[in-house]
Amino acid sequence: MIDLHNHLLPGIDDGAKAVEETLEFLRIARRDGITAVTATPHMKPGVYDNTRETIQRAIARVREAARGDEAGEVTLLPGAEVYFTADVAERARRGELMTVADGGRYLLLELPYQQLPMGVDDTIFHLRLAGLTPIMAHPERVAYYLEDFDRVEASVRLGALTQVTGASITGTFGSKARDFALRMLERDLIHIVASDSHDVRYRPPILSEARTAVARIRGEEAARRMVEETPRAILEGREVVPPERPQAVRKGGGGLLRRLAARLSGRR
């Protein structure tokens, strides 16, 4: 598996605090079956003023510390969780933002949790014009999408991808996030499942539980696509072509959503 969203770099955002904790992150990830991670510290102006250079330095520091350790068996790549601002597309065009694996093609974009930002569709459009595909971070947990599910479909139609947090699917973030994630799953609107891990105890870098849940609901092929095939294509800079959405799934209703939730919880 490949984890495209986590906060394991030491001391540069609200994730790991020290190098040793970062190494434990990587050990836990390896034992869970994760072979590669893209470290995605926040790039949030005025709060976490990380730059491409500070992120690359942190990556180099961790790689050096991981030599000869179990942690070093996980491929560590640079990335960032870029906070939405009105000028994010322009900043991307100027090369100021860290893209996924520093590949210049995919950008992990975070919308505010509570506020409703203006111009999301325009931003997606302009990022696409700039040659970047935005990956919308945890839409199941941000107000912009929670207020209106149709906005998820609109973002995808404009060319964005979506990344759902594994713990949302398994219910760790509560029923609201879980139900929204299941609705996305029902409609084939999840492209990537990632850990969004912040620590080794309460929000660890675990993907196997969500993978099992997705496989139970949508099948092993879909689960593999979300945690292996699509993330690998992104790391390699290849175009991601979402699967064709079956008509029956596209028109699915609340009854199917309830059945999905029941299957997830192990009930019949």
State the CB neighbour count (10 A cutoff) for residue 138.
24
DSSP state of 73: G
Q: Is the pLDDT of residue 73 over 80?
A: yes
Per-residue confidence (pLDDT) for residue 242, from 0 to 100:
73
Q: How many Cβ atoms from other residues are within 10 Å of residue 118's Cβ?
A: 10
pLDDT digits (tens, 9 = 90+) for 130-166: 999 999 999 999 999 999 999 999 999 999 999 999 9
Q: What is the CATH number of the domain that holds 34?
A: 3.20.20.140
Total number of domains in the chain:
1
Decide: pTM greater than 0.85: yes
Q: Residue 252 pLDDT > 60, yes or no?
A: no
Q: Has residue 258 got a pLDDT over 90?
A: no
Residue holding tokens 């609200």? Answer: 14
User: Count of CB atoms within 10 A of residue 89's CB?
Assistant: 23
**How does the average pLDDT of the chain come out, rounded?**
93
**Residues 60 and 67 sit within 8 Å (Cβ to Cβ):** no
Q: What single-letter DSSP state applies at residue 229? A: I
Dump pLDDT digits (tens) for 92-120.
999 999 999 999 999 999 999 999 999 99
pLDDT(245) > 90: no
Give whole-number Cα distances, 106 to 86, 103, 218, 239, in Å. 18, 7, 26, 10
Q: For residues 171 and 3, is the Cβ–Cβ distance under 8 A?
A: no
Whose CA is closest to 161, among 253, 261, 229, 86? Answer: 229
Domain that holds residue 251: 2-264
pLDDT, position 241:
81
